[in-house]
A and B are shown apart, each in its own frame.
Chain A
Amino acid sequence: DIQMTQSPSSLSASVGDRVTITCRASQSISSYLIWYQQKPGKAPKLLIYGASSLQSGVPSRFSGSGSGTDFTLTISSLQPEDFATYYCQQSYGTPHTFGQGTKLEIK
């Protein structure tokens, strides 16, 4: 299986901050990297696919970058609704493993 490791596991930030979350794959996954946002009690929501393509309807303050093994999700200016847990997922090879998640909390 391809292992996905996110860092940090948790993060405290303030509204307006720029935040970066990192995801590292145990082997090259090209650009088969997806980012999701999950709020408590809700199903995950797709934010970014193909490492850097913004899903329709997702605010432009979200961006993704990277290829191969190292990827980042950046939120340029945190809004109150962005406090949630973020997961990366690789879809290069089955099983399409998820990272362990990054919980973004209000400072």
Chain B
Amino acid sequence: EVQLVQSGAEVKKPGESLKISCKGSGYSFSSYWIGWVRQMPGKGLEWMGIIYFGDSDTRYSPSFQGQVTISADKSISTAYLQWSSLKASDTAMYYCATYTSGYAGGFDYWGQGTLVTVSS
């Protein structure tokens, strides 16, 4: 069974750095794209970017380019989302999800979400 398990909730101060993770199991990670989706409190879904495990090819939404870094370690089937300097506006739930049937198949498996709270 395919599973994506995300790291736990984080509470950080503005200006701090953070790296959250998403560990996959149950399929060959190296053949698929995995992405990150932001959901701010009470708001809709925002596509942040995706990474291909096989060669670490990464695509960002222009809205998030330069604001976050998406990376992956295929040896441990784990994708990461990283901030170098958090802002209060980064407070949100972050989901990882994977396209196991390619882009056309949609995000068919999702992690449980990681809640990031940034507050002074």
Flag if B95 contacts A97 (CB, 8 Å): no
Min CB distance B113 to A, Å, is 6
The residue that B106 contacts in the complex, of A43, A89, A92, A101, with Cβ under 8 A, is A89
Flag if A43 contacts B44 (CB, 8 Å): no
Flag if A96 contacts B47 (CB, 8 Å): yes
Residues 22-73 (chain B) with a chain A CB within 8 angstroms: 35, 37, 44-47, 49-50, 59-63
| Interface residue? A34 (CB, 8 A) | yes
Supposing A91-B103, A95-B63 touch, asked if A43 and B112 sit within 8 A by C-beta, the answer is: yes
Residues in chain B near residue A101, CB distance under 8 A:
44-45
Residues in chain B near residue A95, CB distance under 8 A:
47, 49, 59-63
Provide the A71-107 mask, 1 if CB < 8 A to any CB of B, else 0: 0000000000000000101011011111111000000
The answer for the CA separation of A8 and B61 in the assembled complex, in Å, is 26
Residues in chain B near residue A46, CB distance under 8 A:
106-108
Residues in chain B near residue A38, CB distance under 8 A:
45
Number of interface residues of A (CB under 8 A): 25
* Count of CB-CB pairs between chains A and B under 8 Å: 73
Residues 92-119 (chain B) with a chain A CB within 8 angstroms: 95, 97, 99, 101, 103-108, 110-113
| Interface residue? A16 (CB, 8 A) | no
Residues in chain A near residue B61, CB distance under 8 A:
1, 94-95, 97
- Nearest residue (CB) in A for B49 is A95
| Interface residue? A55 (CB, 8 A) | yes
Flag if A100 contacts B95 (CB, 8 Å): no
- Nearest residue (CB) in B for A93 is B103
The residue that B50 contacts in the complex, of A43, A94, A99, A100, with Cβ under 8 A, is A94
The residue that A34 contacts in the complex, of B49, B106, B111, with Cβ under 8 A, is B106
Min CB distance B99 to A, Å, is 8
Flag if A98 contacts B45 (CB, 8 Å): yes
The answer for the CA separation of A100 and B42 in the assembled complex, in Å, is 12
The answer for the CA separation of A31 and B104 in the assembled complex, in Å, is 8
